[in-house]
Amino acid sequence: MIFQRCIFTAVLILAGYFVQAQHFALSRLFYPNVTLKADYNVPAGMGAAGDYGLTRSGFFGIIPVQSEVQLGYSLRKKLDLRAIHTVMLAQYTQIQPTVGGMDSPENGYKTLSLGVIRLQASIKDKLWVYGGGLGLTETNETLFTPQPFFWGGAARMHILGLRTQIMYGSVLAYNQKIKFVPVFGLNKGLGKHWRASALLPFMANVNYKATKWFNVDMLTGLNGYSGGFQVQTPEEKMLRRENFRQIKIGMSANAHLFTVLNVSLEAGVTTFRQIKTFNSARENLATYHPATTPYIGASVRYITSRSKFSSRFTRKMGLGGDSGINW
């Protein structure tokens, strides 16, 4: 039972960061599904530049490509049970910032990314989670300033009991510059209905499972965007880069409806915000700190099908086939 529980805890924590969803459910990892989501940050003061607002919308899809449980025999004449699960991730996001109640000069960004998360666990080698992906951010008004990015990471888990696991690892990311980030994860059951999880420094969450079909999350997370755009003058076209980051603090209510739908509503505040603009030489041209502001968000997930290999895998691991199981 401990072996089964730790397998999915690691994937949920690591994948939950990369997809940045309102709520992450177990079914998302084992059945093809797509999520439509949207967030709106209320415009707030940014000094002389006016009020800064932000709208984010898009879709996210998960496609399982491998799920199996293997029984092996080592050279030391010992049996080893190994579970492997691999999913592909696809995401498209439209980001629309506003300044002073009007679309900002760069007129928003569109982002497309593809990734893979692979879980490999065994009695002998314990548990490892690997992930990687790449993508492209482009301004809406041109096709000549693409901003590529990629990420890759790995984590190792240790089991401290049936309801407590920790994991540690690192993420290597590139978005205008390479960053190496150590990560620490925690999953802790707190009574029958409560569970706390975190992947620091990116996210932390406390979940209350009220019923089989309804649960509530109290969450905080670090996110933002990075993209390029052009400023055209009579003399020349100038390349600009823009980075925005914020910390979200909020709550979400999640309901599982009609077997195939999961609906989530979220509200809270965004704070510790910063927006920077760079030139082509990566020199900082301007830095602003928009004020703390409320935000609202919503998502709808549709489970497109139940593949045979995913159903067999969940049954072998003792998790059942109920797509509505939430963590």
What are 226-257's pLDDT values in tens digits?
888 777 778 778 888 888 999 999 999 999 88
pLDDT one-digit tens code per residue, 66-96: 777 766 665 565 676 777 888 899 999 999 9
User: In whole angstroms, what is the distance from residue 146 CA to residue 111 CA?
Assistant: 10
pLDDT at 267 over 50: yes
Q: What one-character DSSP code corresponds to residue 11?
A: H
Decide if 251 is inside a domain: yes
User: Two tokens at 239?
Assistant: 């390349």
Decide if 140 is inside a domain: yes
Indicate which CATH number applies to the domain containing 278. 2.40.160
E strands along the chain, which residues? Answer: 33-45, 51-73, 79-99, 102-103, 109-122, 126-139, 147-161, 164-174, 178-190, 194-200, 203-209, 214-232, 237-257, 261-279, 284-288, 293-303
Decide if 154 is inside a domain: yes
> Predicted confidence band at 293 (pLDDT cuts at 50, 70, 90)?
very high
- Average pLDDT in the 117-129 region? 75
Decide if 325 is inside a domain: no
CA 263 to chain centre: 17
Do 148 and 178 form a contact (C-beta atoms < 8 A)?
A: no
User: In whole angstroms, what is the distance from residue 12 CA to residue 155 CA?
Assistant: 12
Decide if 138 is inside a domain: yes
Mean pLDDT of the chain: 78
Decide if 326 is inside a domain: no
Decide if 155 is inside a domain: yes
The pLDDT assigned to 115 comes to: 92
pLDDT one-digit tens code per residue, 185-204: 888 888 888 988 888 888 89
Q: Which pTM was predicted?
A: 0.79
The pLDDT assigned to 190 comes to: 86
Range of the domain at 69: 2-316
pLDDT one-digit tens code per residue, 41-58: 999 988 777 889 999 999
| Number of other residues whose CB lies within 10 A of the CB of residue 51 | 18
Decide if 57 is inside a domain: yes
pLDDT one-digit tens code per residue, 1-24: 333 344 444 444 444 444 443 344
User: In whole angstroms, what is the distance from residue 311 CA to residue 68 CA?
Assistant: 11
**Highest averaged pLDDT of the listed ranges 9-13, 174-178, 294-298, 308-312:** 294-298
User: Two tokens at 112?
Assistant: 């497309």
The pLDDT assigned to 200 comes to: 86
pLDDT one-digit tens code per residue, 152-178: 988 887 777 667 878 889 989 888 788
pLDDT at 317 over 50: no
Q: What one-character DSSP code corresponds to residue 315?
A: H
- List phi, psi (to 5°) of 26: -60, -35
Number of domains in the chain: 1
More confident residue, 59 or 320: 59
| Number of other residues whose CB lies within 10 A of the CB of residue 300 | 15
User: Two tokens at 293?
Assistant: 């502001």
The pLDDT assigned to 303 comes to: 79
User: In whole angstroms, what is the distance from residue 192 CA to residue 190 CA?
Assistant: 7
> Predicted confidence band at 38 (pLDDT cuts at 50, 70, 90)?
very high
